[in-house]
Amino acid sequence: MGKRLKFLHIFALLLAACAGHTPELAEDAGQNEPAEQVEEKEKTPGLPFQVVFEGVEDGELRGYLEALSNTKKQIEDPPASALSLKSLAKKDLPEFEKALRSRGYYDAVTTVRLDKKATPVAVVFEVNLGKPYRLSHLSIKLVPADTAFKPPEISTLGLDPGQPASTEPVLKGESKLLDDAKAQGFALAKLCDRKVVVDHRDQTMSVTYCLEPGPKTYLGRAIFIGAGDVKEDFLQTLIAWDPGELYSKELIDDTRGKLIQTRLFVSARVELGDKLDSDGTLPVTFKLAARKPRTISASLRGTTDQEKFVVLGEWEHRNLWGRGENLEARLQVSFIRAFLEGIFRKPAFYHKDQSLLLSANLEAQNTDAFKSTSATAGAAVERTLTDDMLLSLGLAYRFSRVEDKTQFSNNENFSLLSIPMRFNWDYSDDAMDPNRGGRIWLDGEPFYDIGNASLFFYRQRIRLTHYFTVLEEPRLILAGRAVLGNIWGAGRGDVPADLRTYAGGGGSIRGYKFQSVSPRDPAGKIIGGRSVLELSGEVRWSVTESIGLVLFADAGRAYESTFPDFVRPLQIGAGPGVRYNTPIGPIRLDIGFPINKRSFDDSYQIYISIGQAF
């Protein structure tokens, strides 16, 4: 017995020793091989596969299931074996059945199998949709039942008995019910538990919405947080409602829009009170993020025309004394023009939608038609009629010294008193790069020379633009522009040369020199006219999000008569353009070619600037 115990003891020690050395040997073996080879041995190639849905004829529904499938998402990184692949696919089945129920297929059954004869192996999801369930009974429960809220007809919520019992329209209808309550002035309305009953025997679903309208709500005081240096009394002029007015989301959104339009705030977030004030009204809080009041900017545009280049510098202060008073200074310099202007704007001038404008400018011009220096000062009242429509009326004085560069060249001084009138309607969708809508500008200004009582004339210009989106993807826009200008009441020679009508150049008829499509004297000198007509069209194609291509055609002419007489044909320019989109608007490059070229016209003109041509 003792010998047997001794033998067992020795045998156990030998086993322990062997066991202790085994890991070391395994570790050494691993260390003798390169790391790359070890990784290659551990990496097992996946099993390529495809995903097929059977029993789903509706392409939209099939796409919905494919988007939900985690198996399909693993095609690029397949599992190592058929067993793992089928295990992965089975995990999709509960999600598919849940998704199908949301579409009204409450009896749907999905199974999965592998088709190993297919190349590559096919994961086949077999879907037995069954008959779609239908909506049956639809109703609205109000809590409490004796509320003043008048519920809408169920059909107005986008639901009708007999339609498929899909979850999405039911949820949309519930959301519309809440919106309808708020539109009736019940701002504190909230949803309670809806009741949905699915009858598997009749294959129907009934829905009962539950709504707590709360009290009818009236808007009270507006509270501003984060306004910075902007004074409270000015902010109150922007409020679109009077205290005690029935709650309206549109009134609140309108106020928020006006706060942003002042350019005094980066953002304006709205928070409604969760209960009524002591006077029974609902407080509205605007949480504002103030913007720095000063801005300095500069831009440069170039052309092969007389201007060569235009440098524009601007300085602006948007809140001089805390009530949104705006002061702006602009300096513009080119080879033929220097212009310095200051504009002061006082918002809420005797009316919340009215502004006072004071302006003054100095200008020097030296074109092929004339040379002039002028100083102008004016005041105007501007009234906002709607969010996109404004009207202004003012009084201005302009002193100028003008040299007419004709064969009968002479210098004249003019002291002109005028009444500038303007109507603007901008119903486009973007200031710098519009895709839809349009703009209408009407400008009129009667002039009276207080130094020469016999000189009186009226100058007006009508400008129309419109934009059509032909294709959304890729984006294709058709843009059109028409301009008609007239001068009445005086002969061409009596009107100062720098106020006559001219045509030609980058902002007029591309492909022709600045002012070159204008009346001329017998010696060929440009003399200007009393009317102008311009027509433009562009096809704008967005190649990528950043790059756009343009084909354009411009036509027009200035005439010596008060209205275009069409004795001379319209000059036509056309060409291609490129747009590079930036956060501040597209950078524009256009090359214009004169189509009915005259002997003195250049072969082309190049224009570079920021923003669309119109």
Q: Is residue 149 part of a domain?
A: yes
Q: Are residues 443 and 579 in the same domain?
A: yes
Q: Are residues 150 and 80 in the same domain?
A: no
Tell how strand 531-542 and strand 547-559 pair up.
antiparallel
Place 42 in a pLDDT band, splitting at 50, 70 and 90: low
Given 105, 128, 151, which residue is the final one in a domain? 128
Q: Is residue 17 part of a domain?
A: no
Residue type, 301: R
**Does residue 10 register a pLDDT over 80?**
no
The answer to whether the CB of 391 falls within 8 A of the CB of 385 is yes
- Distance, in Å, from the CA atom of 169 to the CA atom of 158, rounded to the nearest integer, reads 7
% of the chain with per-residue pLDDT over 70: 92
**Does residue 458 register a pLDDT over 70?**
yes
Q: Are residues 207 and 222 in the same domain?
A: no
Task: Give residue 22's pLDDT.
Answer: 35
pLDDT tens track for 87-110: 999 999 999 999 999 999 999 999
Task: Give residue 21's pLDDT.
Answer: 40
pLDDT tens track for 514-525: 999 999 998 889
pLDDT tens track for 552-598: 999 999 999 999 998 889 999 999 999 999 887 899 999 999 999 99
**Does residue 33 register a pLDDT over 50?**
no
Distance of CA 173 to the CA centre of its chain: 28
Q: Are residues 162 and 206 in the same domain?
A: yes
Q: Are residues 91 and 153 in the same domain?
A: no
Return the CATH number at 367: 2.40.160.50
Q: Are residues 86 and 189 in the same domain?
A: no
Task: Give residue 307's pLDDT.
Answer: 82
Given 265, 290, 315, which residue is the final one in a domain? 290
Q: Is residue 33 part of a domain?
A: no
Q: Are residues 361 and 501 in the same domain?
A: yes
Q: Are residues 432 and 536 in the same domain?
A: yes
**Does residue 309 register a pLDDT over 90?**
no
Q: Are residues 581 and 470 in the same domain?
A: yes
Contacts of 35 (CB under 8 A, 6+ apart): none
For 175, the token pair is: 């959301």
Specify the range with the lowest mean pLDDT, choosing from 10-19, 360-369, 377-386: 10-19
Average pLDDT over residues 131-144: 94
Rounded to the nearest 10°, the torsion over CA 26, 31, 34, 40 is 30
Q: Which H, E and C letters describe 2-28, residue by residue?
A: HHHHHHHHHHHHHHHHHHHHHHHHHHH
Specify the range with the lowest mean pLDDT, choosing from 51-55, 389-393, 451-455: 451-455
pLDDT tens track for 386-438: 989 999 999 999 999 999 887 566 789 999 999 999 999 999 998 878 999 99
Task: Give residue 410's pLDDT.
Answer: 72
Q: Are residues 369 and 434 in the same domain?
A: yes
**Does residue 544 register a pLDDT over 70?**
yes
**Does residue 237 register a pLDDT over 50?**
yes
Q: Is residue 23 part of a domain?
A: no
**Does residue 8 register a pLDDT over 60?**
no
Q: Is residue 484 part of a domain?
A: yes
**Does residue 169 register a pLDDT over 50?**
yes
**Does residue 503 register a pLDDT over 60?**
yes
pLDDT tens track for 199-214: 999 999 999 999 999 9
**Does residue 29 register a pLDDT over 50?**
no
Q: Could you give the angle at the alpha carbon of 325 between the alpha carbons of 324 and 329, nearest 5°?
A: 125
The answer to whether the CB of 242 falls within 8 A of the CB of 255 is no
Q: Is residue 7 part of a domain?
A: no
Average pLDDT over residues 227-246: 94
- Supply the range of the domain harboring residue 257: 218-290
pLDDT tens track for 263-289: 999 999 999 998 898 888 999 999 999
Place 43 in a pLDDT band, splitting at 50, 70 and 90: low
Overall domain count for the chain: 4
% of the chain with per-residue pLDDT over 90: 81
Task: Give residue 13's pLDDT.
Answer: 42
Given 269, 290, 311, which residue is the final one in a domain? 290
Q: Is residue 242 part of a domain?
A: yes
Q: Are residues 349 and 224 in the same domain?
A: no
- Distance, in Å, from the CA atom of 21 to the CA atom of 10, rounded to the nearest integer, reads 17
Long-range Cβ pairs for the range 158-162 (8 Å, 24+): 159/135, 159/207, 160/135, 161/134, 161/135, 161/136, 161/137, 162/134, 162/135
Q: Is residue 283 part of a domain?
A: yes
Q: Are residues 112 and 189 in the same domain?
A: no
Return the CATH number at 165: 3.10.20.310
Rounded to the nearest 10°, the torsion over CA 301, 305, 307, 310 is 0
Kind plus residue range of the DSSP H or E element containing 173 = helix 167-183
Return the CATH number at 91: 3.10.20
